[in-house]
Amino acid sequence: MRPVHCRPGEKYQICSVSFSIISLVLLWTKLPLQHQVRFKENLYGLRFHTFNFITFLSALYQLFLFLKSIKLYFFLHIKCCSIFWCAHKNLLSFIVMFIEFDEPWRPVTWSGANKEDMLQKLRALQVSVPDVNRLNILLHGPIGAGKSSFINSVNTVLQGHNTTAALADSSAGKSYSFTVKFKYHRLKKGAPGIFYPFSFADIMGLEPGSSSGVHIEDIVHVLNGRIKSGYVFNPVSPIAEGNPSYNSEPSLKDRVHCLVSVLPADNISLISNEVIQKMKDVREKARNLDIPQVVLMSMVDKACPLVNDDLKKIYTSKKIKDKMKECRDKLGVPMNCIYPVRNYHEQVTNDLLQDVLILMPISDIIRFANSYVEDQVYTE
């Protein structure tokens, strides 16, 4: 067969294009540089694998030997390498453009001074109504969403050290609620016997079906202040009026003053429609009582590797904002009442960025609750 001959210029173009294609294939599959690639999880359908730089050079050298063996090595001009590096940079820039905003869309002051300012306001807090000695905050949501962990995280920030007042469970693949007893957690403030003027109600998690998880009617009773601390939840039936833990004459100080819905950012889309509907039913009951409502979106570090590496990127991450929009669409809560948080679950010492991120929703929750109590007394 007669061999096909190409002019030198055509050979150079063919080689340049071939080398560029090979480089991009290697980049897409296995060979991004170690120090440039930080995304180890699937982001918007793109998956990258870390690879050692020495291994990369070795593979490139083997490619060179192969081309040399077929008499094409002299066509490998330095421009081919330039094409490879430009493609590498452009691809990374393209990826970053789709996962991160240029500027934070919600401003945050990540400083020790801001943290201390928020802490000082909480220490100086006084309930607006004398007959109410503390503000009651109710956390509800699916099992494993991080409700108890958030209570512990708030306490960790306030105390300045690791705390475990609310027992939490981190078992993998758990299918039941670890919290089974109703309890108001009061947070210590300074000397023994002195507490902050707010408390968190920890309840059993919501589950699909009518025979598992906390009963919706029990949550409504908690909202109205009809269940005393220490009551053990019965998933099958709500509390009866004759139960010793039933409060037949609740006052304003017994009621819930702010409802907090907790959803895990890493698997919002996996939460069953039945659980979401139960949460919406609770929200409607709270709305009828004029109780303010917010949403905590937990586990942001598991949902976005960008945030896992740098918590300051919480409001530049497009994935986190998309998850917040998903919370909004599922529950109907406006974006300015949705707060992404990262609970303390691995660290045993306080972190400034994590403390600031936790104090932001707590400061607003306390203000909302205090305003609600004031409106119940002074608004005609």
pLDDT in tens, 268-285: 999 999 999 999 999 999
pLDDT tops 50 at residue 95: no
What Rg value do the Cα atoms of the chain yield, rounded? 28
pLDDT tops 70 at residue 314: yes
What is the rounded CA–CA span in Å between residue 380 and residue 378? 6
On whether both 122 and 88 belong to a single domain, the answer is: no
pLDDT tops 50 at residue 45: no
Within the chain, strands assigned E span 135-140, 183-188, 195-202, 258-264, 293-298, 338-340
181: confidence class by pLDDT, cuts 50, 70, 90: confident
Sign of CA dihedral 196, 197, 202, 206: negative
CB atoms within 10 A of CB 231: 21
What is the rounded CA–CA span in Å between residue 200 and residue 369? 12
On whether both 80 and 139 belong to a single domain, the answer is: no
pLDDT tops 60 at residue 29: no
Any domain includes 1 = no
Any domain includes 173 = yes
pLDDT in tens, 356-365: 999 999 999 9
pLDDT in tens, 5-21: 544 444 444 454 455 55
Across the chain, mean pLDDT equals 81
On whether both 89 and 130 belong to a single domain, the answer is: no
Of residues 75 and 258, which shows the higher confidence score?
258
Sign of CA dihedral 148, 173, 339, 221: negative
Distance of CA 293 to the CA centre of its chain: 18
The structure tokens listed for 103 are 């500027």
On whether both 338 and 293 belong to a single domain, the answer is: yes
Q: What is the DSSP string of 108-120?
A: ---SHHHHHHHHH
Domain final residue, candidates 47, 73, 99: 99
Segment 320-349 mean pLDDT: 94
> Based on the number of CB atoms within 10 Å of its own CB, is 100 exposed (0-12), middle (13-18) or buried (19 or more)?
middle
192: confidence class by pLDDT, cuts 50, 70, 90: confident
CATH of the domain at 302: 3.40.50.300
65: confidence class by pLDDT, cuts 50, 70, 90: low
Crossing angle, helix 78-99 and helix 318-331, to 10 degrees?
30
Which of 24-33, 95-104, 163-172, 321-330 bottoms out in mean pLDDT, i.e. has the lowest? 24-33
pLDDT tops 60 at residue 301: yes
How far, CA to CA in Å, does 144 sit from each of 45, 110, 141, 169, 328?
26, 28, 9, 8, 20
pLDDT in tens, 194-246: 999 999 998 889 999 877 889 999 999 999 999 998 899 998 999 999 999 99
On whether both 305 and 235 belong to a single domain, the answer is: yes
On whether both 269 and 159 belong to a single domain, the answer is: yes
Domain final residue, candidates 99, 133, 154: 99
Any domain includes 45 = yes
Q: Which residue bears the tokens 């957690």?
A: 185
Domain of residue 118 covers: 112-378
Segment 100-129 mean pLDDT: 95
Q: Total domain count for the chain?
A: 2
92: confidence class by pLDDT, cuts 50, 70, 90: very low
Q: Which residues contact 165 (CB under 8 A, 6 or more apart)?
A: 151, 152, 155, 185, 187
